[in-house]
Structure 1
Amino acid sequence: MIRCIRHTAAFSFLLLVALLVNAARVQVFETERYGANTANRRGVIARYEQPRGAVLVAGRPVTGSRDSGGRLRYERTYTDGPLYAPVTGYSSQTYGTSLLESAEDGVLSGFDDRLATFPWWDQLTRTHRPGGSVHTTIDPRMQRAAFDGLGGKKGAVAAIEPRTGKVLALVSTPSYDPGELSGNDGAVGAAWHRLNAAGPRPMLNRALQETYPPGSTFKVVTAAAALESGEVTDIDARTDSPDPYPLPGTATLLGNAAEGCEDAPLKDAFRASCNTVFARLGAEIGLRDMVGMARRFGFNDPGLRIPSPVAPSNFDTRMDASQVALSAIGQYDTAATPLQMAMVSATVANGGRLAPPTLVDKVTDARGVMIAAGPHRPTRQVIGPVTAQQIQDMMIDVVAHGSGKRAAIKGVTVGGKTGTAQHGVRNEGTPYAWFISWARAKDSYEPAVAVAVVVEDAAADRADISGGGSAAPIARAVMAAAVR
């Protein structure tokens, strides 16, 4: 009898050990797999059991939380949702997150280990920490000026502080209210399908995720390549450029919308936006040096984050001489985001140094204690200071005496470059109107802001001046807010 009891006790002990081992396996080694299982609702319920952290603009929250009373308790709310949607993105219980809500989701949802004093203890006890706050670099006055300037047009604005790379404005229109997507009821699904089916594509962030042919604004990059390579040593010297210009290896003649482009010096060609001069320069500089200069400005970079992902701007690396010539005037397959062209303008304004753009100034916990400063990545020298100064002078000339006059601000030094980008089959689409610029207060040595504006449905003709007519006034409003 005693022997049977001993065997039973030993067997029971083995069963208990097996149970404990299996529990340990599930709790320690399989926790991530079970947690990621779509059938496991505990993680989703825990995610929404407390308010989400805030996204702040100039210290003021532009996001909040609402108690729905349901199992997924707290839903996201937005203040001035359409104004800040290109910055915040959406946080939806049904469709996930986007843009800054996605890039900083760990902080905002409370799951980032930086929010805990002892992360290992919180993991062991399954403690859900309060969400932290993300402080953006956005200037509300500049954001509003850009949004109101675009109005009902399809387009985008990106503005950067040249010295630091801080993104001061990020606007895409038409926009949408991300609050419509916050919950999980039928209205959210209906809003999602309506917004995605809309012809103007309001959920597309045109400032970060859409690339456009940059047209004549790319001539800033070509001018930099010409000066840095030694192809041009004097911006006031004749360039030996015919008008029209026969594209190398073809029978195609490239003309100009402006007069007086034959053999025009670089400075005059920049002001008048002579296609022939810049196309010839691009072909003479050659593919390797043009690609190298474009890359130094940020083109062909698939890893750009601010921390929201940015679509890579394109400058082809395999082209013949005629295609290089067209690419040098911002056509062929050359394509850029508005943020990329703001980076080009900011580099010139900052003496040839590029400060990588960033949208986050700092991150704080629920008590307001800073847990991380914004990324301070080192600047890099893209072009020499002398080259930068020469291009600055040419951009100032465009605003003072050329097609950028509508960007001028009294008492402020403004440099700019207009552009009209043709697109579509046989270039029959409505040209995109571009304007890139920078502004510096008269009593300051540092530029206050660099701006890029693109308008898709500009009411303008195909002349280069359309960028000055449709896009320059928007840039002027943003720059005026910056130097006010």
Structure 2
Amino acid sequence: MNKTIRRASVFCLLLVLALLVRVTWVQAYQGQALADNENNRRNLIGQYENPLGNIIVGGEAITGSVKTDGKDFGYKRTYVNGPLYAPLTGYSSQAFGTSMLEGVYKKILNGSDDRLKTVMDMLTNKRAAPGNVLTTVDKDVQTAAYEALQGKQGAAVAIDPATGEILAIVNNPSFDPGSIAGANDKQAWEKLIEDKGKALENVALRKPQAPGSTFKLVTLAAAIENGLVTNLDTPTGTPDPYTIPGTRTQLPSEAGSAACNNVSARTALRLSCNNVFAELAHKLGQDKMRAMAEKLGFNSEISTPVTARPGSKYPTQKMSVDQVAQTGIGQFDVQATPLQMAMVTAAIENGGKLVAPHSVSEVTDGNGNVLESLKDPKSEQVMKEKTASMLQDAMRTVATEGGGKPAQVTGAEVGGKTGTAQRGVNNSLPPLAWFTSYGKLGGKQIAVAVVIENSDTDRSEIGGGKLAAPIAQKMMAAWLKK
């Protein structure tokens, strides 16, 4: 063999060896990663090759699957009362992916989770029968909130304080996830994302906003825990009119001129006196205010198991004295979701113990065998029982004598807190109307938070007691009167 042929043969042999090494590498080491890659269309086709498992509310499936005529996808996701449950289920779309519970439990619902596989499935590498997701949501509370929010833009959350079970997650406007479930629903999708996608926003879980005076519950909790308030009926000594510390700006209260002068903590909560709570925050200081807020869930990523991202916020950057005072009334950079404010009230109602909120109780295989249980969630004593009792007492006064009267449920103990939060440059946008409350009757309890972003009400009439409290009342009644 001459020299040229020998060199060519060696070169070809090296090419073959390189190819074999590459194939071995891809199959042995990268095969699974490539198979699991989200851009692998075979996975998407496999996901909808068979009917999906279901998301269940109160023992009834609120999802389903229907046979399609498409050559790639055998089945398409369907929804029962889609707009009612959309903030809970999210969507499972052949074109646009998944969200909310559909996304969190995608592998359970499409049968690709390893926990679902039988021995035969493993031997044949076959996709297993899908599992189901059982939720904690109560149909009656969910429906009451959804119907009460019609004609308004806003959101509501309800929690059982003793168990942490989320009883309702509602947004308005909402959308029908079935309208975007197919592979050719681009027009429906584009319609949804118009107007900055408000229908797709999960305001209840994922849109922190200024909580306004509902945050005064956190301020009062911090004041009681740190000994600034020891008796609800002792005058606080805070003047009205009141000048914000470090400024020459007077801070008005909705109760009117001098109505909040030297009032007690109970009266301050009932009248929502800004001067009292700004002064309490000023005296407490940023660190103690933040510590109380963080115990209640602020500055944390909350998983329901849908992640509430971005989370509710109490400022961590160094603030000036006037800014700290403003946080005491739920302004400056304080932000909260309805979920967060429902957690605050749930902890107060539950004797100071905060139970981790969750919207799923169990995940099962197709035969009902439990794969994952959330029935024993984490809990933490975030304030003294005495503090919680004093807060309940003050909140009852708001509901019986103050702006929370529209939240009263016949025969039940109800406590609440109204809130109106300014927003926009120079208050250019309609204020947010908030209400958070608890109710208990006959061994049952519920904590609720409602925010109204926009309504057809005149700006001068926008307030948590008028707009949000009636919605909370309907939610509480739906649970307590069962």
TM-score when normalising by structure 1: 0.91
* Alpha-carbon distance in structure 2 between the residues aligned to 1:249 and 1:16: 78
Letter in 1 for 2:98: T
* Alpha-carbon distance in structure 2 between the residues aligned to 1:38 and 1:105: 12
Counterpart in the other structure of 1:288: 287
Q: Quick check: 366-375 or 303-312, which moved more?
A: 366-375
SS at match of 1:171: strand
Closer/same/farther in 2, CA of residues 38 and 390 from structure 1, 3 Å limit: closer
Letter in 2 for 1:220: L
Given that 1:362 and 1:373 are in contact with CA atoms closer than 8 Å, whether structure 2 keeps it comes out as yes
* Alpha-carbon distance in structure 1 between the residues aligned to 2:295 and 2:229: 19
Residue 248 of structure 1 and its aligned partner are, at CA, apart by 1.1
Counterpart in the other structure of 2:11: none
SS at match of 1:362: strand
Q: Quick check: 17-26 or 40-49, which moved more?
A: 17-26
Residue 195 of structure 1 and its aligned partner are, at CA, apart by 0.6
* Alpha-carbon distance in structure 1 between the residues aligned to 2:84 and 2:143: 7
* Alpha-carbon distance in structure 2 between the residues aligned to 1:416 and 1:235: 16
Residue 377 of structure 1 and its aligned partner are, at CA, apart by 2.8
Superimposed CA distance per residue, residues 286-315 of structure 1 (whole angstroms, 9 cap, x where no aligned partner): 1110000000010011x2111111030011
Superimposed CA distance per residue, residues 301-360 of structure 1 (whole angstroms, 9 cap, x where no aligned partner): 1x2111111030011022111101111101111110000000001000000000010010
* Alpha-carbon distance in structure 2 between the residues aligned to 1:154 and 1:124: 52
SS at match of 1:456: strand
Structure 2 spans left out of the alignment, 5+ residues: 1-14
* Alpha-carbon distance in structure 1 between the residues aligned to 2:173 and 2:358: 24
Residue 429 of structure 1 and its aligned partner are, at CA, apart by 1.7
SS at match of 2:161: coil
* Alpha-carbon distance in structure 1 between the residues aligned to 2:169 and 2:323: 32
* Alpha-carbon distance in structure 1 between the residues aligned to 2:38 and 2:232: 63
Superimposed CA distance per residue, residues 53-84 of structure 1 (whole angstroms, 9 cap, x where no aligned partner): 10000010111111113211111101100000
* Alpha-carbon distance in structure 1 between the residues aligned to 2:40 and 2:32: 11
Given that 1:50 and 1:73 are in contact with CA atoms closer than 8 Å, whether structure 2 keeps it comes out as yes
* Alpha-carbon distance in structure 2 between the residues aligned to 1:458 and 1:193: 25
The answer to whether residue 364 in structure 2 is matched with residue 364 in structure 1 is yes
SS at match of 1:131: coil
- CA-atom RMSD in angstroms: 2.2
Residue 37 of structure 1 and its aligned partner are, at CA, apart by 5.4
Q: Quick check: 309-318 or 273-282, which moved more?
A: 309-318
* Alpha-carbon distance in structure 1 between the residues aligned to 2:270 and 2:284: 21
Residue 379 of structure 1 and its aligned partner are, at CA, apart by 0.7
Residue 122 of structure 1 and its aligned partner are, at CA, apart by 3.9
Counterpart in the other structure of 1:85: 86
Letter in 2 for 1:163: A
Alignment of 1:11-22 (within 5 A): none
Closer/same/farther in 2, CA of residues 389 and 122 from structure 1, 3 Å limit: same
Given that 2:269 and 2:394 are in contact with CA atoms closer than 8 Å, whether structure 1 keeps it comes out as yes
Counterpart in the other structure of 2:207: 210
The answer to whether residue 227 in structure 2 is matched with residue 264 in structure 1 is no
* Alpha-carbon distance in structure 1 between the residues aligned to 2:129 and 2:415: 46
Residue 28 of structure 1 and its aligned partner are, at CA, apart by 3.1
The answer to whether residue 476 in structure 2 is matched with residue 479 in structure 1 is yes
Q: Quick check: 285-294 or 193-202, which moved more?
A: 193-202
The answer to whether residue 210 in structure 2 is matched with residue 175 in structure 1 is no
Residue 175 of structure 1 and its aligned partner are, at CA, apart by 0.4
Given that 1:432 and 1:455 are in contact with CA atoms closer than 8 Å, whether structure 2 keeps it comes out as yes
* Alpha-carbon distance in structure 2 between the residues aligned to 1:254 and 1:19: 76
Q: Quick check: 192-201 or 262-271, which moved more?
A: 192-201
Letter in 1 for 2:429: G
Residue 234 of structure 1 and its aligned partner are, at CA, apart by 1.4
* Alpha-carbon distance in structure 1 between the residues aligned to 2:38 and 2:327: 48
Given that 2:149 and 2:172 are in contact with CA atoms closer than 8 Å, whether structure 1 keeps it comes out as yes
Q: Choose the corresponding residue for 2:303, options 305, 316, 333.
A: 305
Counterpart in the other structure of 2:219: 222
TM-score when normalising by structure 2: 0.92
Counterpart in the other structure of 1:190: 187
Residue 40 of structure 1 and its aligned partner are, at CA, apart by 4.2
Superimposed CA distance per residue, residues 355-392 of structure 1 (whole angstroms, 9 cap, x where no aligned partner): 01001011111122222212633210111000100000
Q: Percent identity?
A: 45
Residue 244 of structure 1 and its aligned partner are, at CA, apart by 1.6
Q: Quick check: 222-231 or 420-429, which moved more?
A: 420-429
Superimposed CA distance per residue, residues 92-116 of structure 1 (whole angstroms, 9 cap, x where no aligned partner): 1111000110111111111112212
* Alpha-carbon distance in structure 2 between the residues aligned to 1:73 and 1:210: 36
Superimposed CA distance per residue, residues 221-279 of structure 1 (whole angstroms, 9 cap, x where no aligned partner): 00000000111111111111111211111111112111420111101101110000000
Residue 462 of structure 1 and its aligned partner are, at CA, apart by 6.7
Alignment of 1:110-259 (within 5 A): 110-118=111-119, 122-123=121-122, 125-185=124-184, 188-198=185-195, 201-259=198-256
Q: Quick check: 280-289 or 239-248, which moved more?
A: 239-248
Aligned residues: 463
* Alpha-carbon distance in structure 2 between the residues aligned to 1:475 and 1:246: 34
Given that 2:117 and 2:127 are in contact with CA atoms closer than 8 Å, whether structure 1 keeps it comes out as no
* Alpha-carbon distance in structure 1 between the residues aligned to 2:298 and 2:355: 14
Superimposed CA distance per residue, residues 147-184 of structure 1 (whole angstroms, 9 cap, x where no aligned partner): 00001210000000001110000000000000111111
Counterpart in the other structure of 2:382: 382
Structure 1 spans left out of the alignment, 5+ residues: 1-14
Letter in 2 for 1:416: G
Closer/same/farther in 2, CA of residues 462 and 389 from structure 1, 3 Å limit: farther
Letter in 2 for 1:44: L
Closer/same/farther in 2, CA of residues 31 and 163 from structure 1, 3 Å limit: same
Closer/same/farther in 2, CA of residues 37 and 280 from structure 1, 3 Å limit: closer
* Alpha-carbon distance in structure 1 between the residues aligned to 2:23 and 2:32: 14
Alignment of 1:315-330 (within 5 A): 315-317=314-316, 318-330=318-330
* Alpha-carbon distance in structure 1 between the residues aligned to 2:458 and 2:236: 28
Residue 281 of structure 1 and its aligned partner are, at CA, apart by 0.6
